[in-house]
């Protein structure tokens, strides 16, 4: 591909990601599957430009606005700004990229030429940039994030802007961590043990895992270490009835099944019962090939409604453990889905908080006396975490929080990275995605 064609591909991908609210990695993989002519160098260059553009969106928009030109920020103008500011591409060089020929972007308009002239040679950072622009987060989230982190705000936000590592969870139904590490090593993929999860490995570089025999045989699943930790804190054991209430595509469900089997002396998966629930049949159907690959047999899938579900009403108090990893803003996963941070607005958060509370009440009603309800988000916002826990405890007096350090010692072993009524994980503090988890026991 020519340099101009690479630029056009970047613009097309950014447009697709924004219009379809797609995960960048998924969009990029799909884009290149239908363009086999693109070489490895093309893929690297385009992927790098797309991720860098998403990573620096606030700064690019700030620079575009600062010119005073009547140009709205969009994928094309942001790529132009990126080329001028970050790549220091001159206006004449940009004209040679934007030719409209041979898959190159259409020629620049007069306004775009003025934009290129205004931005060429500008520094990526500027003293007048407000903090939210400099650190790349939505301005409306500033009060919550500043209250949470205080002087650590810059450290935490910078970590959220870095490329996330690839973590995998070893499927203890089929393999050991040592066996998986050895299999990956034979494929020239270096890994190291994850420091928090005893069933995780972290790739020390980048690699494509889908074609490996060990993956096809169900020896491991790609799963962030933080997600693995949340699954382990549920404490699923043989003989229990465990509900994954917001199962989605089944990542944590698979981890719960493996944990239950690992605690059984005869390794009989049927020694317990796992029920995966979700409001989306599509997401539940996506779980099927993962279950088959992992060798999971003792699982029931149950579609539930958003509120007043009949199955939930009929099964009150039947579960030993219920996990509700609720829909959230996803702020803890910004380093994986860089575009997601700009999709939410304050009014969206208000709707999410109400939805989370509805889910908490429904899911918690399934918990048996002396059973546990595990509330989790991949969010960093206090509104979705500690504030929701406070609301739950006021409205569900039959539950009490378990000190997270005690739960950690019971389920994972060793010293927890946090203490108190909830666990917080973040890229800067624990090297994981951002997660919050609280474990509550039903006292009567």
Q: Which residue has the higher pLDDT, 261 or 370?
A: 370
Whether 311 has a pLDDT exceeding 90, the answer reads: yes
Question: What is the model's pTM?
Answer: 0.92
Lowest mean pLDDT among 67-81, 97-111, 147-161, 290-304: 290-304
pLDDT at residue 102 in the model: 83
**C-alpha triplet 173, 178, 180: angle, nearest 5°:** 65
Identify which of 429, 420, 346 has the alpha carbon closest to the alpha carbon of residue 384: 346
Judge contact between 97 and 3, C-beta under 8 A.
Answer: yes
Please state the rounded mean pLDDT for residues 406-411.
97
Question: Binning pLDDT at 50, 70 and 90, where does residue 165 land?
Answer: very high
Above 60 in pLDDT, residue 269? no
Region 278-304 average pLDDT = 90
At 146, give phi and psi (nearest 5°).
-70, -40
Say how far apart CA 107 and CA 96 lie, in whole Å: 9
CA–CA distance from 183 to each of 197, 200, 218 (Å)?
19, 14, 13
Does position 267 have pLDDT exceeding 80, yes or no?
no
**Other beta carbons within 10 Å of 402:** 18
Predicted pLDDT of residue 21: 82
pLDDT value at 246 more than 90: yes
Of the chain, the percentage scoring pLDDT greater than 70 comes to: 98
Number of other CB atoms surrounding residue 58 within 10 Å: 21
Enter the tokens of residue 175.
């393999």
DSSP conformation letters of 173-200: TT--HHHHHHHHHHTT--EEE-SS-TTE
Nearest to 381 by CA among 165, 205, 137, 168: 137
Cβ neighbours of residue 22 closer than 8 Å, sequence gap 6 or more: 16, 339
- The answer to whether residue 264 scores a pLDDT higher than 90 is no
Which residues contact residue 254 at a Cβ distance below 8 angstroms, ignoring those fewer than 6 apart?
169, 171, 221, 290, 291, 294, 296
DSSP one-letter code for 302: E
More confident residue, 208 or 177: 177
pLDDT tens digits along 81-121: 999 999 999 999 999 999 999 899 999 999 999 999 999 99
């Amino acid at each position: 591909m020519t340099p101009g064609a690479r630029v056009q591909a970047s613009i097309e991908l950014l447009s697709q990601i924004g219009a379809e609210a797609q995960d960048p990695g998924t969009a990029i993989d799909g884009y290149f599957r239908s363009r086999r002519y693109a070489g490895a160098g093309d893929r690297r260059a385009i992927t790098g430009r797309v991720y860098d553009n998403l990573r620096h969106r606030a700064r690019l928009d700030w620079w575009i606005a600062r010119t005073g030109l009547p140009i709205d920020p969009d994928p094309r103008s942001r790529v132009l700004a990126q080329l001028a500011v970050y790549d220091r591409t001159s206006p004449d060089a940009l004209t040679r990229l934007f030719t409209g020929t041979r898959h190159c972007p259409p020629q620049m308009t007069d306004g775009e030429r003025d934009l290129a002239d205004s931005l060429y040679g500008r520094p990526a950072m500027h003293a007048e940039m407000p903090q939210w622009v400099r650190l790349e987060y939505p301005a409306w989230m500033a009060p919550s994030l500043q209250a949470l982190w205080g002087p650590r705000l810059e450290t935490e936000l910078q970590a959220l802007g870095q490329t996330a590592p690839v973590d995998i969870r070893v499927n203890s139904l089929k393999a050991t961590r040592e066996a998986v590490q050895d299999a990956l090593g034979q494929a020239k993929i270096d890994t190291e043990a994850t420091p928090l999860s005893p069933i995780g490995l972290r790739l020390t570089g980048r690699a494509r895992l889908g074609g490996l025999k060990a993956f096809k045989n169900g020896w491991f699943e790609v799963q962030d270490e933080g997600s693995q930790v949340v699954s382990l804190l549920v404490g699923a054991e043989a003989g229990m009835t465990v509900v994954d209430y917001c199962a989605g595509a089944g990542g944590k469900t698979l981890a719960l099944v493996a944990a239950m089997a690992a605690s059984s002396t005869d390794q009989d998966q049927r020694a317990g019962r796992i029920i995966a629930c979700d409001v989306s049949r599509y997401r539940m159907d996506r779980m099927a090939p993962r279950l088959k690959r992992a060798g999971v047999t003792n699982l029931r899938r149950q579609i539930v409604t958003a509120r007043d579900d009949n199955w939930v009403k009929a099964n009150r108090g039947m579960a030993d453990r219920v996990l509700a990893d609720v829909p959230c803003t996803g702020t803890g996963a910004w380093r994986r889905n860089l575009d997601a941070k700009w999709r939410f607005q304050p009014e969206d958060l208000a709707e999410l908080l109400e939805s989370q509370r509805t889910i908490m009440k429904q899911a918690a009603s399934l918990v048996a006396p002396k059973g546990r309800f595990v509330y989790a988000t991949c969010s960093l916002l206090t509104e979705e975490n500690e504030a929701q826990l406070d609301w739950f405890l006021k409205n569900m007096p039959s539950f009490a929080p378990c000190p997270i350090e005690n739960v950690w010692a019971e389920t994972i072993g060793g010293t927890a990275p946090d203490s108190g009524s909830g666990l917080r994980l973040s890229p800067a503090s624990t090297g994981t995605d951002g997660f919050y988890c609280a474990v509550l026991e039903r006292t009567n």
